[in-house]
Amino acid sequence: MIRIPFEDVRLEFRRVLLTRDCPAEKADKVSYEMARNSLEGVYTHGVNRFARLIRNIDEGIVRVDVMPTVVNAFGAIENCDGHLGLGIVNASWAMDRSIQLAGQHGIGLVALRNTNHWLRAATYGYQAVEAGMAAICFGNTMPNMPAWGAVDSRIGNNPVTLAFPGPRGAVIVDMAMSQFSYGALESALLDGKQMPVDAGFDIQGRLTRDPAQVIASRRPLPAGYWKGSGLSFLLDVFASCISLGNSVCAIGRLPGDEHGLSQVFIAVHYRSIAPEKEADAILEDSLEDLLRSEKDKSTDRITWPGLRAIETREKNLAQGIPVDERVWTEIRALG
């Protein structure tokens, strides 16, 4: 493990993107957000995912030369076609439209089809928070998890983020519908560790914390067991039916790596009906109450949703982003 300054990571990403004829403005955006993901501790969607993005560009399933277009619009809602553009660029564009609609109507919803992996869901929550708005965003994925009671993967570990502005920073959750990603399972397997809670099923259909068993059975656990299974299905229905785009099963029928996703971006201009000062006071009361929690023996402290990203950012800004040397060498070799 080496540590690399944020700026060096960002500039290296930018250099590689420019070799793929990515317009400078898009290379700026994508390199900044992916470097920021690692900076704030979401390593799976930063440095560790960059080579795959470049591969997807080279395969032609992520296109650097397009921008989304609006298909249908009615008042505060729109559906748009992402034309298989860069996932981060498309999603930021869609969130920005949603924020504009919310500015006019109090709330906006933009559903985006034919887009690509947005990397970190929280990115678009933070984007709304910077505009003083709350956000609910979600999207679908390729089939990568069995429904509750099933053996074969037909639902997605669909990501969702909820974000709300607060005086201490964004209060935010960013979660996938699986309890653990395959990335987390593989990382624990390499380290010889068990997962801290149920991670999925073994080949016999028994719940297990053993990452090797879950990787072998291809049966990762929906978060909340049957609850995450049902919620995953509904998020997919919303995203695909409102955008008129691919559902999880339709994504599964496309050849090649995951692409052609559907996403929804909801921005809420709540300050138009709830003055900032009053809303902040309610939020601050809740945060203080949460932090008064009595912690159990195995926990070092209780945090609020969003704090760890702020702390990791500060640490990695000071010390550099921790990067696997082989991963960095691979990126440096891209050209």
Of 69, 130, 75, which is closest to residue 107 (Cα–Cα)? 75
- To a copy of itself, the closest distance from the beta carbon of 98 in angstroms equals 10
Distances (CA, A) of 53 to 56, 61, 86, 250: 5, 10, 9, 21
Q: Which two tokens stand for residue 183?
A: 């990335």
Q: Give the C-alpha separation, 293 to 301, whole Å.
A: 9
By rule CB under 8 A, what count of residues binds a copy of itself?
A: 89
Judge contact between 185 and 214, C-beta under 8 A.
Answer: yes
Q: Which two tokens stand for residue 178?
A: 């699986």
DSSP state of 86: -
Subset of 267-286 contacting a copy of itself (CB under 8 A): 268-270, 272-274, 278-279, 282-283, 285-286
- Stretch binding a copy of itself (CB under 8 A), from 9-17, 86-94, 162-170, 184-192: 162-170
Q: What are phi and psi of 300, to 5 degrees?
A: -80, -35
The verdict on whether 45 is a catalytic residue reads yes
- To a copy of itself, the closest distance from the beta carbon of 231 in angstroms equals 6
Which of 204, 333 has the CB closer to a copy of itself?
Answer: 204
- Selected from 42, 84, 121, 134, the binder of a copy of itself by CB under 8 A is 134
Subset of 297-326 contacting a copy of itself (CB under 8 A): 297-299, 301-302, 304-305
Subset of 3-62 contacting a copy of itself (CB under 8 A): none
Point out which residues pair with 113 in neighbouring strands: 81
Subset of 190-249 contacting a copy of itself (CB under 8 A): 197-198, 201, 205, 207, 223-225, 227-228, 230-231, 233-238, 240-244, 247-249
- To a copy of itself, the closest distance from the beta carbon of 318 in angstroms equals 26
Q: Which two tokens stand for residue 118?
A: 């947005």
Q: Does 292 bind a copy of itself (CB under 8 A)?
A: yes
Judge contact between 128 and 106, C-beta under 8 A.
Answer: no
- To a copy of itself, the closest distance from the beta carbon of 185 in angstroms equals 15
Residues 6+ apart with CB under 8 A from 333: none
- Selected from 67, 184, 212, 250, the binder of a copy of itself by CB under 8 A is 250
- Stretch binding a copy of itself (CB under 8 A), from 42-50, 100-108, 309-317, 319-327: 100-108
Which of 297, 326 has the CB closer to a copy of itself?
Answer: 297
Of 157, 168, 109, 115, which is closest to residue 135 (Cα–Cα)? 109
Q: Which residues are catalytic?
A: 45
